[in-house]
A and B are shown apart, each in its own frame.
Chain A
Amino acid sequence: MTRRRTLLLGGAAAVGVVAVGGVAATGRLDDVARELGLDPVPQPAEGDTALLSEAAEDQARLVAVVGSLSATLVPLLEEHLDALGGAATSTVAPAPDLASARATLAAAASVRRDQSEAAVSPDLARTLGSIAAALSLMGSGVVA
């Protein structure tokens, strides 16, 4: 199976986005560059960069919302945050109880699903889709 680290190496660098985003626009220039012995690196699609940033910010919020309510969920959420290149925040209050936190996670799953659908890069789409699936299972209590 494909490991996520091959999709989003280096957190916010989002190699997958970089690899796919600008191919169409820069293809001819890339060919020229390769003939010159260079290794061109296309720019990510602008929308994908924004999606990645939004997702990372929201994942930081989720880590804070769950807080100490679940020793199972937090490490998983921190993995998401790490992969997206986000940083923990201390400005968000934890949810009053686990049920409330799960409702927040379920809502975030829906957002992440929409972000995956909006992504141009297939690799970013897969990563956000995978996070959406994980959040969905956390929100529904399948992951307890």
Chain B
Amino acid sequence: MTGQLEQVLALEHEAVWTYGLIGGGFAPLRDQAEASFAAHRTERDRLLAVVEDALPPQVAYAPATIADEAAARLRAQDVEARLAAAWSAVIGSTTGSDRTEAIDQLVVAEAARLAWGGSPAAFPGLD
């Protein structure tokens, strides 16, 4: 499971960075971006305490600019979708309560993707 959690943590670093970019760049999205930023910062910190030998965050994540609000929403949906996929991988590599926790996190990621304007998916993390 360690490798899968490392991937989740890497994406949490990216999510924190991305929501900072969105919140700083688009005033109408600031409140939502701040909420997402706080949620991902909390989850990032939780994982930092769990994952050993984790890679540090990158200075920036490509593309490092976002053109407009619509692109910002798509960017948010993208990072949440990749987090959902990463948690799905964790489901497959765990058992018991760890697997249940991964399903709960999958729900969180998919709910966030929808909150940023994504369309409902039959198979979160797999579609």
* Chain A residues proximal to chain B, CB less than 8 Å: 1-4, 7, 72, 75-77, 79-80, 83, 113, 116-117, 122-123, 125-127, 129-134, 136-137, 142-143
Q: Which residues of A contact B89 (CB under 8 A)?
A: 126
Query: Contact check: which of B81, B107, B125, B127 meets A137 at CB < 8 Å?
Result: B107
Residues of B at the A interface (CB closer than 8 Å) are: 81-82, 84-85, 88-89, 91-93, 95-96, 99-100, 102-103, 106-107, 110-111, 114, 120-127
Q: Across the two chains, which residue of chain B brings its CB closest to A122?
A: B92
Secondary structure call for the B interface: helix
Pair B88/A129 contact, Cβ less than 8 Å: yes
Q: How distant is the Cα of A113 from the Cα of B100 in the complex, in angstroms? A: 7
Chain B residues with CB under 8 Å of A116's CB are: 91, 99, 103
Say whether A3 contacts B114, CB under 8 Å: no
Complex Cα–Cα for A122 and B1 (A): 12
Residues in A whose Cβ lies below 8 Å from that of B96: 117
CA distance A122 to B111 in the complex (A): 23
Whether B92 pairs with A1 at a CB distance below 8 angstroms is no
Q: A127-B126, A133-B124, A137-B111 are in contact. List 9 more A-B contacts (CB 8 A).
A: A1-B126, A83-B123, A116-B103, A122-B91, A131-B122, A131-B123, A133-B107, A134-B123, A137-B124
